[in-house]
Structure 1
Amino acid sequence: MSGSPVNELDASDSSAADRRRQFQTQLATTELPRHLALFYRTHAEQIRVITTYVARGIRQGERVVYLFDENDVETIRDALTGVGLDVDSLQAAGQLTLIDANEIYSDSAFDPVESVDAFRDIAADAVADGYDGLRVAGENSWSFGLDCSFDEVMEFEHRFDEACPELPVTALCQYSLEQFAEEAVGKALQTHEMIIYRETLCTNPYYTSPEEAIEYGAPLSNVALLLEQTRDIHQFRNDVERREERLSVVNRVLRHNLRNELNVISGRLQWLVEQGLFDEAAREHLDAVVSATERLSALSENARHVGRTLDDRQREPANLNATVEEGVADAVCEYSDLSVDIDAGPEDTVVADATVQTSVREVLRCAGTNLSAPTVDVRVEADNHYETGTVEIIADDGFIAEAAMVAFENDSERALAHANTLRLWVAQWTIESMNGRLELSGQPPADRVRLTFPTIEASR
């Protein structure tokens, strides 16, 4: 495989670019663990994953170390250049280092403890030099050339996990499914909290923490591993099915029964009001009941809106300015007196998840509901490397109530009892699902909402 042509990765496969794009989005919207593994079958698949992973680290201000073994250094250089990285400049600045794996893993006498210590030193140097952390990618074919058992390699993996809380490092181990034996792959699978398989980032249900490995004697054989996880997955599916059934009942009550009964109550109350049968004191109580019924009906309708909004989410990248404009257009269509001025960001910024539109729309719906003749400024920005995008929504007056601000600060959902605040929670859930955050500012009521979320590089 050494010296394989890099142009194989996109030359004749139009879907390869789409797969890389989807993986870019996953990396941008997922908080990575310290230790993950790539299991691949083809060289093209390997190159697409590692170049995306390395480019993300570079653009996030991390120092990146690539440990090559099966691929030669020129293959890796050409691949990284092919995704837009200036390899010469990055190497000269010290942000990118390409190292023969044998320089880290001694081919004379492999020592798991010494290898972990070496990574600890490299990570400390990265932080001392002003980088946000260390990102490592290593071709694990280095283990074939060592005079040691694969279990010793697994000891190194577990020791690395134990040291992870101390290390500002994200490490990607690479395993070729065409070269590593099934038993070795089964063991490697158990030592990584997340894996990349078929260019998809997955939470690993087979992961065994170092503590569990000591207690239960992991790594297990492939058969024992499958039996253990079959039981766990079976239990998980049963739990999910039961919870789905309960949620279905609750949704039917909210979406149908509750709404219908409220319509009956509202109609009868309106009839009583029109009859004029009550004195002024009784009329005040009747008006209070009518208002409470209307609020409850609004809450039911907003709950239905939440369900539709979250169910309809489709994750895909999009131009940042365009997706913000769509969110604004949705809100203005609903609130005709809502006036919105957009200060656009850089034209080529691509948001990693187009559902930023949902968060923008829901925040503006709060303004449209809580303010009379609202005027709102929407400011769109991106950082120098376009790794992070922000949208600030600023109104002339406060439109986020104090109760909602307290609920957000205390990570509490008690403000869900208010229909208007439910919209803000939809914005919060949506932005958090793509590894972003929502912040409120201003003295109660808040007059500014800031959305921060990951972006990815534009298509080349």
Structure 2
Amino acid sequence: MKDTPPAASPPPRRLEEAGAAVGETARQLTRVGLGDHLCLIYERFEEQVAALVPFVRTGLERGEQCVYLVDEHTAEEVAAVLRESGVDVEAEGERGALVFQSTREAYLRTGRFVPEEMLAYLRELERQALEAGFTGLRIMGEMTWALGAEPEGEQLIRYETLLTGFFPNSKVVAICQYHRSRFPPEIIRDVMRTHPLVIYGNEVHGNLFYERPELMLGKETAALRVEWMLAQLRRVRADERELVELGMRLGQQAEENARLYEEASEAVRIRDDFLSVASHELKTPLTPLHLRLQSLKREMESGPVACQHRERVIRVVESAEAQLRKLAALVDDLLDVSRLTEGKLPLTWEDVELGEVVREVMGRFAQQAAKMDCELELVVEGPVVGRWDRLRLDQVMTNLLSNAMKYGAGHPVRVRVEGDEERGVLVVKDEGIGIAPEHLKRIFGKFERAVSGRNYGGLGLGLYITQQIVQALGGSIQVESEPGRGSTFRVELPLRPPES
């Protein structure tokens, strides 16, 4: 073997341009591996380079020894192209990973071409590469040497046929390069019949015209030839089916990608809406609180506080406390969402009388309901005692009642508590704006609303948290509503906690 040639002077412009001509072939050659036998049918040097560069680079990356058999071009020219593509030719040559050989060193080692001797030489090269620690052997040979007196056409085809039987059980992959316009059509025809894979027109083709060695060597029977022909028909149809199935899978994937894109876009929209509403809702109690405290501070700094200011101070403090409670409630909602997302909503189980909890909540809302002109009505059908979390039950009633008053302002809100031996039932009904049918399924979603956040405040978390609490208590919540005719929320809870 020859050593790797030394660095040459800058290659001609044609070589520089050819070195950049690595296109589709590069991607397709990554699917080629040890045991494959290819031929390259080319007419321009750029087509050689398009296969040469990715073939060698892939082999080096996979730890294979790469041997290039030169004839039409010099080793210096080929090395220059590889350098232009980023291959460290000198370093790879020093470690024996990149080797250049001439025609006479390979095909004509004994002075004449003998297919069996060349095949034995390939086996020896494979053995040496594996013993040297390489994962396999990768060969690319220029076949223009065969245009001379040696070999005869039949010998060349016999050699290619023998190779086809050698490669499948080897650690070798090879590309035989044939210049289409320089070889007789009969040779090109037979070359295509002896290679399972053909590189032509910047594409790696599964060769439809490939024939097994016994066919090429004239050992076939009529029955064998018929079987081969039928197999080719089946192969074409199988390829067609595979393309159809691939197209269907791509179509399904496109639909799935479109769905995921829509979901992601909707999630971004919901997030942006939430951030906008959250910033508004969190600032709403802070602004009047700040103004009232500033006003109170100025009065306190202006001089001694007169007795007549006592009532004003009390009102300001009460207003501040109300705003702080509202702010704390918003923060609590956000904390609950965080806990629910992590699956860590704490529950404290105790015996609770449902009607008592409902009365307490309605009592707290009495003053606010009067301001909103919402008459509160309560019907309790006997004591309903269950084992629940009192604070979370209070939270459920609070969310449902505040929701009913918000969207049913100026109309009565009716609450009913009832139960039987197995469950307690809480019903909250308003006569407000109602919910459109298309929104009924999503109102329990996180940050979801059935109306504009500009017209109605809130973070869009109340019903989401309510549903999660009810489900954690082992119950269920349903809603019935029509636009303009109000909404009815019905909560059903088992009297005993679920075993889980």
TM (norm. structure 1) is 0.48
Q: Which has the larger radius of gyration?
A: 2
**Higher relative contact order by CA 8 Å / sep ≥ 6: 1 or 2?**
1
